[in-house]
């Protein structure tokens, strides 16, 4: 059976992921993501009404025109998890393919939200929910799609595996190796080892942290760090405000729990806080009951209520961990909300600054503004969602793949992975395929 892999997006950047695998007459697409930084750099761009080709020209979504070079029919579009750099282009590209979108239940709910907002294109692809551990047949030449449970900074992440007569093709984006996640099951290393013994033709790897030594800690480590930080504030009788990634359901859950432990009522504030946590709650994820407020006018009314009832009784969990100019924390820092920050009030960033000049500048500005009001900043209470080098070593050991394709980075970001793979006996151009966006690798 012919096997080809088209590396469409996310091979020159972290963002706009998209990869297609052709096995005989059948094609499976993994991820259709958005590169948000290419959108945010322009002021006030609303992508909902934009045409795909304009977004491709901006570098915001994958250039999928290379798909016409693959001789087969798309059987499934498979987003690995609900981050925008993996699902954000589905509303712009999926309608071109007569194929279902197959993902875990939480991911599919987020895809639904996203295609509901779309204004330019209709969307009538079937949405199919499949949980980790399950499989589905692909085409009629004996291929099968399997979801292996992995752990990442969003719940219900999986690594899809396409089983072909020539061996397994594993799409390894995005994950860390977490044996004590706060929500959900640990990474299924037993299954990866089993697939490794059966034979892996190709492994596509998440190289986000390939240049970092050591091991990425468990979410449980960030949880303990957060517990220590919030417990240290138990006797403080002023304002405490916390922020994190709205999509990071496990972290938001920890915030809610520790807030209550120190005698404060948590309230989730901001449109994306309400969207992600509300979806998790509706889907029966192990998530506490909590007040959530999404719209600006209601948010301001809630902040007014907090001030009236005494801000020492509350812990607002807000959007704005990257200092985004329109997010709630930044508005609070600018004094544009009814919430008054006083000298000594605490602001907890349970997030890392995404290392990108726009983010760094905005976050710097937000912290300066908070400081000017006298607020004290606690930052970097976080662990990464991506494997570091020893995780990559362990995955190679478990899978023993014939071919490797580094992904989810740019050329310099791949270098640590190329070193590691070369040490393990892989050879550039033979079985280690460093590539760009828009290439097709002929495997069999
Ligand atoms: Zn991700």
Asked if the model's pLDDT at residue 182 lies above 70, the reply is yes
Asked if the model's pLDDT at residue 44 lies above 70, the reply is no
**CA–centroid distance, residue 104 to ligand 1 (Å):** 14
- How far apart are alpha carbons 240 and 258 in whole angstroms? 12
**CA–centroid distance, residue 10 to ligand 1 (Å):** 12
**CA–centroid distance, residue 226 to ligand 1 (Å):** 21
389-401 pLDDT tens trace: 999 999 999 999 9
**CA–centroid distance, residue 345 to ligand 1 (Å):** 32
**CA–centroid distance, residue 70 to ligand 1 (Å):** 27
**CA–centroid distance, residue 236 to ligand 1 (Å):** 35
- DSSP notation for 249-310: HHHHHHHHHHHHHTT-EEEEESHHHHHHHHHHHHTT-S----EEE-SHHHHHHHHHHHHHH-
- Range 90-109 average pLDDT: 97
**CA–centroid distance, residue 342 to ligand 1 (Å):** 36
- Range 20-35 average pLDDT: 97
**CA–centroid distance, residue 440 to ligand 1 (Å):** 24
| Pairing verdict, β 314-318 and 143-149 | unpaired
> Which residues have C-beta within 8 Å of that of residue 307, sequence separation ≥ 6?
338, 339, 340
- How far apart are alpha carbons 356 and 414 in whole angstroms? 17
Note the pLDDT of residue 43: 64
**CA–centroid distance, residue 84 to ligand 1 (Å):** 8
Work out the pLDDT band at 38, boundaries 50, 70, 90. Answer: confident
**CA–centroid distance, residue 157 to ligand 1 (Å):** 8
**CA–centroid distance, residue 50 to ligand 1 (Å):** 24
**CA–centroid distance, residue 341 to ligand 1 (Å):** 33
Work out the pLDDT band at 146, boundaries 50, 70, 90. Answer: very high
**CA–centroid distance, residue 99 to ligand 1 (Å):** 23
H-type alpha helices, 97-201 = 105-117, 189-198
Asked if the model's pLDDT at residue 357 lies above 90, the reply is no
Q: Is there a contact between 402 and 167 (Cβ–Cβ < 8 Å)?
A: yes
Asked if the model's pLDDT at residue 223 lies above 90, the reply is yes
- Range 406-434 average pLDDT: 97
> Six-digit token pair at 81?
């998890």
Residues around ion ligand 1, judged by CB within 5 A, are 83, 174
**CA–centroid distance, residue 237 to ligand 1 (Å):** 37
**CA–centroid distance, residue 153 to ligand 1 (Å):** 7
Share of the chain above pLDDT 90, in %: 93
**CA–centroid distance, residue 168 to ligand 1 (Å):** 22
Residue with tokens 């901001």: 270
Note the pLDDT of residue 199: 98
Note the pLDDT of residue 356: 81
- Range 91-105 average pLDDT: 97
**CA–centroid distance, residue 91 to ligand 1 (Å):** 18
**CA–centroid distance, residue 142 to ligand 1 (Å):** 30
**CA–centroid distance, residue 83 to ligand 1 (Å):** 5
**CA–centroid distance, residue 398 to ligand 1 (Å):** 22
Q: Is 49 exposed, middle or buried (0-12, 13-18, 19+ CB in 10 A)?
A: exposed
Note the pLDDT of residue 324: 92
**CA–centroid distance, residue 325 to ligand 1 (Å):** 23
The DSSP bridge partners found for residue 204 are 171, 405
> Which residues have C-beta within 8 Å of that of residue 80, sequence separation ≥ 6?
30, 31, 86, 103, 107, 157, 158, 159, 160, 171, 173, 174
Least confident of 27-41, 69-83, 421-435: 27-41
117-143 pLDDT tens trace: 888 888 999 999 999 999 999 999 999
What pTM was computed for the model? Answer: 0.96
């Amino acid at each position: 059976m012919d096997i080809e892999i088209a590396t469409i997006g996310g091979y020159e950047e972290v963002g706009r992921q998209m990869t297609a695998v052709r096995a005989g007459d059948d094609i499976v697409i993994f991820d259709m993501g958005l590169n948000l930084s290419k959108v945010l750099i322009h002021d006030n761009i609303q992508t909902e009404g934009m045409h795909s080709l304009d977004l491709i020209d901006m570098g915001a979504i994958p250039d999928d025109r290379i798909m016409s070079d693959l001789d087969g029919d798309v059987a499934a579009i498979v987003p690995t998890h609900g981050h925008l750099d993996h699902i954000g282009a589905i509303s712009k590209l999926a309608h071109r393919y007569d194929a279902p979108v197959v993902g875990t239940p939480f991911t599919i709910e987020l895809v639904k939200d996203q295609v509901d907002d779309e204004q330019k294109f209709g969307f009538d692809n079937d949405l199919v929910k499949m949980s980790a551990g399950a499989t589905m047949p692909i085409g009629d030449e004996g291929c099968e799609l399997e979801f292996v449970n992995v752990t990442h900074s969003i719940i219900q992440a999986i690594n899809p595996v396409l089983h072909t007569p020539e061996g397994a093709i594993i799409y390894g984006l995005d994950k860390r190796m977490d044996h004590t996640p706060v929500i959900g099951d640990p990474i299924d290393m037993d299954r990866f080892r089993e697939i490794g013994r059966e034979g892996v033709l190709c492994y596509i790897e998440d190289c986000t942290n390939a240049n970092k030594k050591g091991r990425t800690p468990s979410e449980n480590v960030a949880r303990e760090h957060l517990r220590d930080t919030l417990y240290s504030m138990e006797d403080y009788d002023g304002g405490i405000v916390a922020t994190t990634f709205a999509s990071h359901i496990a972290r938001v859950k920890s915030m809610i729990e520790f807030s209550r432990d120190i005698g404060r009522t948590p309230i989730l504030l901001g449109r994306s806080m309400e969207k992600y946590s509300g979806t998790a709650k509706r889907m029966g994820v192990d998530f506490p009951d909590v007040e959530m407020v999404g719209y600006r006018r209601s948010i301001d009314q809630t902040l007014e209520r907090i001030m009236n009832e005494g801000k020492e009784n509350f812990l607002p969990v807000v959007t704005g961990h990257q200092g985004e100019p329109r997010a709630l924390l930044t508005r609070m820092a600018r004094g544009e909300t009814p919430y008054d920050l006083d000298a000594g009030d605490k602001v907890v960033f349970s997030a890392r600054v995404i290392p990108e000049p726009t983010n760094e500048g905005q976050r710097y500005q937000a912290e300066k503004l908070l400081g000017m009001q006298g607020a004290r900043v606690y930052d970097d209470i976080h662990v990464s969602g991506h494997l570091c080098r020893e995780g990559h070593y362990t995955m190679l050991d478990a899978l023993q793949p014939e071919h490797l394709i580094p992904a989810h980075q740019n050329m310099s970001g791949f270098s640590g992975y190329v070193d590691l793979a070369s040490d393990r006996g892989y050879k550039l151009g033979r079985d280690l395929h460093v590539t760009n966006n828009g290439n097709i690798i002929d495997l069999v």
